[in-house]
Amino acid sequence: MPYADKQSELSARKWRRIRAYVLAQTTACGICGKPANAVDGPLNSVDHIVPISRGGALYDLENLRGCHLRCNQSRGADARPPKVDRIITSRNW
Ligand SMILES: [Zn+2]
């Protein structure tokens, strides 16, 4: 799917604004529930509750939550789009 550079630049700006807003409201990690602390680090990451790859809304505040970067990264591993592990082609036996 092609997209214009101008559009992605606007999106980046919009995302920075929304991200700052979400983080300003965040007092505890949306994933592990703990506040910012020395072990888990600051709450400086924003997680999409429903991953974009699964149709989650990119800029919907209801789909966003602040969290630890560490928590987001470990969750990110699970939020990858499902890979197609088999492509069934017609086959003559
Ligand atoms: Zn966390």
Residue 29 CA to ligand 1 center (angstroms) comes to 5
Residues 6+ apart with CB under 8 A from 16: none
Domain ranges of the chain: 28-81
Per run of 10 residues, the mean pLDDT along the chain (length 93 residues) is: 74 94 97 96 95 92 96 72 56 67
- Identity at 25, one-letter amino acid code: Q
Residue 82 CA to ligand 1 center (angstroms) comes to 24
pTM more than 0.75: no
Beta bridge partners of 37: 41
Residue 53 CA to ligand 1 center (angstroms) comes to 21
**Among 9, 4, 39, CA closest to 71:** 39
Residue 86 CA to ligand 1 center (angstroms) comes to 35
Residue 30 CA to ligand 1 center (angstroms) comes to 7
What's the rounded Cα separation, in Å, for the pair 31 and 68? 8
